[in-house]
Amino acid sequence: MRIAKEELKELMKAKVHKAGLSEEHAEVVADVLVHADLRGVHSHGAMRVEYYAERIAKGGINTNPNISFEKTGPSTAIFDGDNGVGHYMAKKAMEEAIEMAKENGVAVVGVRNMSHSGALSYFVDMAADAKMIGISMCQSDPMVVPFGGSEPYYGTNPIAFSAPSSTGEKIIVDMATTVQAWGKILHARSKNESIPDTWAVDENGAPTTDPYKVKALLPIAGPKGYGLMMMVDILSGILLGLPYGNKVSSMYEDLTEYRRLGQLHVVINPAFFTNLDSFLEKITATMKELNEIKPAPGFDQVLYPGQPNDIQQEKYEREGIEIVDEILEYLKSDVVHNNQYDHKDPFAK
């Protein structure tokens, strides 16, 4: 079923507000979620609302947090979200990082004590809108076997990057350090679709195409992805004095408990390193040159990172966002949640 982005945003906002979030916090959550759906990243959009609503309703997200922001140096700071909703905390921390980078050229802001924050592309997009480079990364609960191992230790630990251009278009990279994010498995389940056998393994450690048999995810490019997810865990966990590795709290184990997650934003102001106009023009030239490269067999065009999502967004802006019927029915219902996530095995049906 297709739905206009404005209507979808209002439905999501109403649902998490009914669950217990303030209007202000619910507005940001809905904005981050519709951003994901609009760009075709459905694994981080409307399908997440019921989980958030259940956790909010059961007290696992602080609906009246005592937020603090402390500058620890000219270009460094800690933002403590007091276990409030992650989307709001990550956005506010990025706003602070952008202001610091305007003044000092670089900002590194650690975000402590937050819940799941959704698609990282939303936050680095904010930096690009300010004509700056954005980098964001966050830890997640253990679902990935380390290279050479048979038991999960790290999470999907995503990284996002953005760079602005002279035309207003942006390069945006948003990727899990696994072959695919766990949300992609959930999306496959919601549509009863199979998955490639390179995404995950079953209980025996063997590759599987059945999203319901997944018992662990695989790091991207073997040892390289393993190294990246370790880096993310150190920078958004250990560096901030938070739980790390297989000690990171589960998304589902106890929805009455705070998650204490960490995230790290890095913002770089190009004007402190080179001529800003020249930088923006070279990014534009890079994008154009990539588009003009002769495509390989089976491809129509070389696209720069983020461009496929831009194309999807333009289509959804015209035609409405495609949402699974069952999810849309839930959003339109009076039900806050159906009590289906608490103490759930993340790999269970």
Task: Identify the bridge partners of residue 266 per DSSP, sorted by sequence position.
Answer: 108, 135
- Give the model's confidence band at 95: pLDDT under 50 very low, under 70 low, under 90 confident, else very high: very high
Look at residue 272 and tell me whether its pLDDT is greater than 80.
yes
Q: Residue 170: in which H helix or E strand, if any?
A: strand 170-175
User: How does strand 76-84 pair with strand 68-73?
Assistant: antiparallel
Between CA 97 and CA 89 the distance in angstroms is 12
How long a stretch of residues is the chain?
A: 349
The pLDDT of residue 346 is above 80:
no
pLDDT band at 349 (very low <50, low <70, confident <90, very high): low
Active-site choice (116, 187, 265, 337): 116
Question: What domains, with CATH codes, occur in the chain?
Answer: 2-275+310-332 (3.30.1370.60)
Angstrom distance (rounded) from CA 233 to CA 235: 6
pTM metric for this prediction: 0.94
HSE of 241, CA atoms in CB hemisphere, 13 A = 5
Segment 203-209 mean pLDDT: 86
pLDDT tens sequence across 3-15: 999 999 999 999 9
Q: State the pLDDT confidence band at 313, using cuts at 50, 70 and 90.
A: very high
User: What value does the mean pLDDT of the chain take?
Assistant: 95
Q: Is the pLDDT of residue 345 over 80?
A: no
Residue 83 in tokens: 């276990």
pLDDT score, position 100: 98
To the query of whether residue 25 is one of the catalytic residues in this protein, the response is no
Q: What is the mean pLDDT of residues 37-66?
A: 97
* Residue 47 in this model has a pLDDT that exceeds 90: yes
Element (H, E) at 278: helix 276-292
Tens digit of pLDDT for each residue in 122-175?
999 999 999 999 999 999 999 998 998 878 999 999 999 999 999 999 999 999
86 closest CA partner among 120, 117, 42: 117
Between the alpha carbon of residue 23 and those of residues 20, 28, 40, 86, the distances in Å are 9, 9, 26, 15
